């Protein structure tokens, strides 16, 4: 079942990509006490994710923060090394990369999807959320092959 507005995020271990290497973090700790603009992509370095999704959040980071967002975070079913390389390749210093290497977070929020037909296994759906102190305020899930409601512009309109 997909997580809904008003629900608390599940306390799953994610891996934060840092310049010093992978750092495990509990979702409950990461999201506590802050407003987070969270977006998820099916995969780092994939076409829509690299051409539109991540660049939109990089470009709109100041606007999101001006609307009260403390942290902008991206999650994907990739490892922390890939997430950090993607961050560096896109000058995305304002974005905290949260690797969900085994898809545990995607499954726990009910937003995992099967990309086996593309040789990618289980991945995350494309979505965005506004999370305040660990509680989902907005959740925007894209349909297959779409990129509309998970954009930075859409989240700005919801804040």
- Residue spans of the chain under pLDDT 70: 121
Catalytic residues: 49
State in words which class domain 13-158 has.
Answer: alpha beta
Element at 158 (helix H, strand E): helix 152-158
Task: With H, G, I as helix, E, B as strand and everything else as coil, classify residue 79.
Answer: coil
Domain ranges of the chain: 13-158
Give me the pLDDT at residue 22, please: 92
Q: Which of 77, 91, 2, 71 is nearest to 46 (CA)?
A: 77
Q: Report the distance separating Cα 4 and Cα 127, nearest Å.
A: 12
pLDDT digits over 57-94, tens only?
999 999 999 999 999 999 999 999 999 999 999 999 99
State the residue for tokens 């949260």. Answer: 98
Give me the pLDDT at residue 108, please: 97
Q: Does pTM surpass 0.85? A: yes
């Amino acid at each position: 079942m997909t997580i809904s507005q008003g629900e608390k995020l599940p306390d799953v271990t994610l891996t934060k990509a840092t310049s010093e290497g992978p750092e495990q973090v509990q979702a409950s700790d990461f999201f506590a006490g802050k407003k987070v603009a969270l977006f998820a992509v099916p995969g780092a370095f994939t076409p829509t994710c690299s051409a539109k999704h991540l660049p939109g959040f990089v470009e709109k980071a100041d606007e999101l923060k001006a609307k009260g967002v403390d942290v902008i975070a991206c999650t994907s079913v990739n490892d922390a090394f890939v997430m950090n390389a993607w961050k560096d390749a896109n000058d995305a210093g304002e974005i905290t990369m949260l690797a969900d290497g085994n898809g545990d977070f995607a499954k726990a929020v009910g937003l995992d999807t099967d990309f086996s037909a593309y040789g990618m296994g289980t991945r995350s759906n494309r979505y965005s959320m506004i999370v305040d102190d660990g509680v989902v305020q907005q959740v925007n899930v894209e349909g297959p092959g779409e990129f509309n409601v998970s954009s930075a512009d859409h989240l700005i309109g919801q804040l």
